[in-house]
Amino acid sequence: MLDIKFLRENPEIVKENIKKKFQDDKLPLVDEVIELDRQARATQQEADDFRAKRNKLSKQIGGLMAKGQKEEAEAVKAQVVEFGERLDALEAQEPVLAARIKKIMMTIPNIIDPSVPVGKDDSENVEIEKFGEPVVPDFEIPHHIDIMERLNGVDLDSARKTSGYGFYYLKGDIARLHSAVLSYARDFMIDRGFTYYIPPYMIRSSVVTGVMSFDDMANMMYKIEGEDLYLIGTSEHSMIGKFIDSILTEDQLPQTLTSYSPCFRKEVGSKGIEERGVYRIHQFEKQEMVVICKPEESMEWYDKLWKNSVDFFRSLDIPVRTLECCSGDLADLKVKSCDVEAWSPRQKKYFEVGSCSNLGDAQSRRMQIRVRGEDGRKYLPHTLNNTVVAPPRMLIAFLENNLNADGTVRIPEPLRMYMGGKTVIG
């Protein structure tokens, strides 16, 4: 969410940013919110004036009564009542204007970083760099579900009976591999200085609207019926929510957190939810990284975060690349974002396994997260998040890139301690 003062002083910059995101339908909102802001400030000023006049007149009443000027006192009383009625009307108008302004401001997209390429959608994202040599072996790579089924590691049919499409049962060595990847990811991030968390899996609406855009909220979140609670779509939601309405000191920055959670997503409008496999699903588990830092340090942390993901996947012998998200593919709160994509030998292409985002001060502004500087002044920190790993999607890349010709799957050295010392499964 933008600062209303910034929008008031820089409407053309805000409009140009909206155009870069190909959201021209939001252009009228800029002028509308400027007018509403003018009305709100005028209403507040008028209310302050009436409040001061009423208080001044109220003090006069006692003096007039003491002097026996009853008629004059009654006239002043009538004026006080009149001012009070006008003040009541103004005070009733203030929250209405404030609510409308807030709603619009939460709809207008954040200002993207100048380095973000301009493009309409994800088809115009830009490759940044490749890590590791993508290899296509001289034997056929089956579909990931076929690999899992041959290893007696997945049961989709039973899951469809209990829950429908977008769910799965993992079992045996595949289930163990799933847990091993998450355990390794946890320790990988702890070794890089991040504090490990297991957060709440449900959050209140005040947190949901603080951490994500309205469109994402409608398309992603599952609401708990009869309660002000939502199932989280990622642990970033809980981890940023942890700091709601708080004031940090500079010596508490940066906050570097890594969190495990199950994640629940409606995936409204998504294609492929009924396709065979575990690529797009309603329920999965994820290891996340979250950083809260000084504004001047956020781009440095952005680079550190996506590099952590690259290093993690490369340690498991999986080739990856980074892809810069163009303006039209950025969620409204994001300043800059890149996807980490893993190589699929079967499809002979890369596919998304994680996303790194810098949200600037948008979440801090919505959540009222502040930092008290050394000079005593308060400012808004920047927030960032990135996926360490999200199986079972990551398992697709792992199984394809570590499959042997005989159908067994190689276990890279970092995972063996979490797999009881196994070097292969099959």
More confident residue, 76 or 34: 34
Which burial class, exposed, middle or buried, applies to 327 when counting CB atoms under 10 A from its CB (0-12, 13-18, 19+)?
Answer: buried
Asked if pLDDT for residue 8 goes beyond 90, the answer is yes
Q: Which residues have CB under 8 Å from 97's CB, separation 6+? A: 36, 39, 40, 43
More confident residue, 112 or 87: 112
Average pLDDT over every residue of 47-63: 73
Q: Considering the entire predicted model, what is its pTM?
A: 0.89
Per-residue pLDDT reduced to its tens digit, 202-253: 999 999 999 987 667 777 889 999 999 999 999 999 999 999 999 999 999 9
Per-residue pLDDT reduced to its tens digit, 262-284: 999 987 555 555 566 788 889 99
CA neighbor of 110 nearest in space, from 3, 37, 265, 243 = 3
Beta-sheet pairing, 247-249 with 370-372: parallel
Q: In angstroms, rounded to a whole number, what is the distance separating the alpha carbons of residues 323 and 20? A: 19
Which burial class, exposed, middle or buried, applies to 35 when counting CB atoms under 10 A from its CB (0-12, 13-18, 19+)?
Answer: exposed
- Residue 366 DSSP label: H
Which pair of tokens denotes residue 233?
């779509």
Give residue 322's pLDDT: 98
- Residue 418 DSSP label: G
Q: In angstroms, rounded to a whole number, what is the distance separating the alpha carbons of residues 300 and 71? A: 73
Q: How far is CA 122 from the centre of its chain?
A: 18
**What are the sequence ranges of the domains in the chain?**
4-105, 122-425
More confident residue, 80 or 241: 241
Q: In angstroms, rounded to a whole number, what is the distance separating the alpha carbons of residues 187 and 193? A: 10
Q: Which residues have CB under 8 Å from 330's CB, separation 6+? A: 21, 109, 112, 116, 336, 337
Give residue 74's pLDDT: 66
Q: In whole numbers, what is the pLDDT of the chain averaged over residues?
A: 91
More confident residue, 370 or 68: 370
Give residue 392's pLDDT: 83
Whether the CB-CB separation of 367 and 241 falls below 8 Å is answered with yes
- Residue 250 DSSP label: G
CA neighbor of 222 nearest in space, from 250, 202, 243 = 202
Give residue 393's pLDDT: 86
Give residue 272's pLDDT: 56
Give residue 78's pLDDT: 74
Amino acid 334 reads K
Q: In angstroms, rounded to a whole number, what is the distance separating the alpha carbons of residues 293 and 361? A: 10
- Residue 84 DSSP label: H
Average pLDDT over every residue of 122-135: 95
Whether the CB-CB separation of 370 and 250 falls below 8 Å is answered with no
Beta-sheet pairing, 202-203 with 336-344: unpaired
Give residue 179's pLDDT: 96
Give residue 1's pLDDT: 81
Whether the CB-CB separation of 223 and 230 falls below 8 Å is answered with yes
Per-residue pLDDT reduced to its tens digit, 135-183: 999 999 999 999 999 999 999 999 999 998 889 999 999 999 999 999 9
Class of the CATH domain delimited by 122-425: alpha beta
Asked if pLDDT for residue 35 goes beyond 70, the answer is yes
Q: How many residues does the chain have?
A: 426
Q: Up-side HSE of residue 41: CA atoms within 13 Å toward CB?
A: 8
Q: In angstroms, rounded to a whole number, what is the distance separating the alpha carbons of residues 282 and 100? A: 33
Long-range contacts of 138-141, Cβ-Cβ distance < 8 Å, separation of 24 or more: 139/405, 141/345, 141/346, 141/400, 141/403
Q: 94-98, 166-170, 289-293: which has the highest mean pLDDT?
A: 289-293
Per-residue pLDDT reduced to its tens digit, 305-355: 999 999 999 999 999 999 999 999 999 999 999 999 999 999 999 999 999
Q: Sorting pLDDT into bands at 50, 70 and 90, what band is 24?
A: very high
Whether the CB-CB separation of 312 and 340 falls below 8 Å is answered with no
More confident residue, 358 or 219: 358
Beta-carbon neighbour count of residue 284 at 10 Å? 22
More confident residue, 359 or 82: 359
Instruction: Note the CATH number of domain 4-105.
Output: 1.10.287.40
Give residue 71's pLDDT: 74
Give residue 117's pLDDT: 97
CA neighbor of 387 nearest in space, from 281, 253, 239, 266 = 239
Whether the CB-CB separation of 291 and 363 falls below 8 Å is answered with no
